[in-house]
Chains A and B, each alone.
Chain A
Amino acid sequence: MNKVLIIGEHDGKALNPATSKCVTCANTIPDADITIAVFGADTAKVAAQAAAVAGVKAVLRVDRPENEHPLAAIFAPQVAALAADYSHIFGPSTSFGKDLMPRVAALLGVAQVSDLMAVENAYRFRRPIYAGNAIITVEADASRKLVATVRVASFEAAATGGSAAIESKALTVALPSHTRYVGARSGSTDRPDLQTASRVVSGGRALGSAENFKMLFSLADKIGAAVGASRAAVDAGYAPNEMQVGQTGKIISPEMYIAVGISGAIQHLTGIKDARTIVAINKDAEAPIFEVADVGLVGDLFKIVPELEGMIGT
């Protein structure tokens, strides 16, 4: 049996869907026995959500005041302490998981497999390197614990309807005081979350200003989409960092991705290659985005976007 421990990501109120995608990934390991651990100040609510994910055997709650904010230096020694009973320790390849899991791996003295995109067997996986320009198959030492982050764009969310047992764990791990949470500025909106949205409208430098990005928000709201941006648009200050899609931003897999005024640099394409349908709107017919788009339209985005919005839902 392969005992898999998944570190649940949440904001205290809701379990991040990335966690459920980790469950889907873990389920592709033969003979997997899956536990989700949630760390927080009060995890009652998110633990209940984790217990409802189909395929999960058990949920561990680790509640203590120090766990209110997800600081890797605080969480890692606790995860390492829990790890004793498991062969595999997984986290999502989100900013939360990418920050935390290598610290856990190092405390356990083992390697980490980052951005696991497919499971071949319990210790053999596929993952992207060079911004997705090559895919490697790696084999890990089966005599050691395996720490991995799961590339969430490669897996669907698991179904709900499970009823795993929830257990509170009191860990007597000494925690460092050298790292303190100060605050956050989140761009939270009513729009769907970019990482997990089924539709995404994304803009590039051709938008020309933050003001012009409003056009994309308007289109996105019409079709219930999240809004993303290319690195060029974020660097130019047209959109905040959390909207960046690509190698160094978010890697996403929506049903539909509408790229507006995005030329399609390889680093951007890395972030969208798992999208079901890519729609590209660009004035340059030679733009590389058209090489990967399922539907392309050459033209002036400032005319096309309003016209498209006008024609949808009529």
Chain B
Amino acid sequence: MQKIMVCIKRVVDYNVRIRVKADSSGVMLDGVKMSVNPFDEIALEEALRIKERGSNIEVLAVSIGVADTQQQLRTALAMGADRAILVQTDAPVESLTAAQVFLALAKKENPDLIFLGKQAIDDDANQTGQMLAAIWERPQATYASKVEINGDKAAVTREVDAGLETIEVDLPAVITVDLRLNEPRYVKLPDIMKAKKKPLDVTSLDALGISAGQFLKTVKTEPPAQRQKGIMVKDVPELVGVLKKKGLI
């Protein structure tokens, strides 16, 4: 194992309450706090732990997005990534395009492993890792809750609807991570200072020979239907009465 690539997305922070614009053209993003997608943070943490257990492993953090995405890559460098690459674009990037960009980077960098979060908390698409694995023609292990590297193989325990499933994949492979894989470390101030000196290269879709495809057009963005607040009951007999009346028990 020599190199691990971790794909990171800049997203609206987990704690921000999302509001839809009145003209249905999208969600309000002006002045909103942006962060590393929480699942990608877990992905990076796992790569760093593998690096710390092994010897001489390089962890490369990569992202696609606007110029300010450098902030999230600096966070990744502060966490412990060795190097970062930003593929800078102002265009909206669909999952398949993202996968094509990561493939282009993978072909240049030849990582043994690529980690991503299982989904980004903005579009909730849950696609990029699987698409990347498909076009890289390599294995995918999605929703990882445990990763064990054994030489040129990885045993990955996956969170699936029925419980836990373990698969073995040959490296190189794509692993997408779930919530319970690890708890990402906190970044300390000296690490932030150190991160400023680590290399962060900026490239473009053009330089990689990729044109951002647009297959899906978002024509409208609306708030969800709201549930109405119901009634409060004072005790269990009253609760049972209401449920009986509704025919639920």
Contacts and interface: CB of A to CB of B under 8 A. Distances in A.
A307 interface: yes
A12 interface: no
Tell me the dominant secondary structure on chain A's binding face.
Answer: mixed
Interface residues of A, number: 88
Contacts of B140: 72-73, 99, 103, 179
B27 A134 contact: yes
Nearest to B128: A102
Given A135-B222, A279-B239, A106 B99 contact: yes
A218 interface: no
Contact of B127 (A11, A114, A184): A114
Interface string B162-190: 11111111100100001110000000000
Contact of B239 (A105, A273, A290, A295): A295
A102 B18 contact: no
A113 to B, nearest CB: 7
Interface string A110-148: 111111000000001000111111111111110010000
Interface in B23-59: 27
B68 interface: no
B134 A106 contact: yes
A297 B139 contact: no
A130 B12 contact: yes
A34 to B, nearest CB: 23
Contacts of A135: 221-224
B90 interface: no
A242 interface: yes
Given A187-B162, A311-B236, A290 B131 contact: no
Nearest to A292: B227
Listed residue (B138, B140, B234) with the most chain A CB atoms within 10 angstroms of its CB:
B140
Contacts of A111: 94-96, 213, 215-216
Contacts of A144: 215
A88 interface: no
A71 B139 CA distance: 10
A192 interface: no
Contacts of B207: none
Q: Size class of B's contact patch?
A: 35 or more
Interface string B102-146: 000000000000000011011111111111111101111111010
A195 interface: yes
Interface in A283-297: 290-297
A4 interface: no
Nearest to A99: B142
B217 interface: yes
Tell me the dominant secondary structure on chain B's binding face.
Answer: mixed
Nearest to A294: B230
A105 B127 contact: yes
Interface stretch (A50-58, A165-173, A247-255): A247-255
B124 A292 contact: no
Nearest to B133: A103
21 contacts: A98-B142, A102-B126, A106-B96, A106-B134, A109-B96, A110-B96, A133-B17, A134-B224, A135-B224, A137-B220, A139-B217, A181-B165, A184-B160, A184-B166, A188-B163, A241-B145, A241-B163, A273-B224, A277-B246, A277-B248, A291-B227
The list of the 6 closest CB pairs from A to B, nearest first, reads A111-B215, A294-B230, A102-B130, A106-B134, A106-B131, A102-B127
Interface of A: 11, 71-73, 76, 94-96, 98-107, 109-115, 124, 128-141, 144, 176, 178-188, 195, 199, 223, 231, 234-235, 240-242, 247-248, 250, 255-256, 266, 273, 277-279, 290-299, 304, 307-308, 311-313
Given A138-B219, A179-B170, 11 more contacts: A73-B133, A76-B134, A102-B128, A105-B127, A182-B166, A182-B168, A185-B164, A294-B231, A297-B232, A307-B236, A311-B240
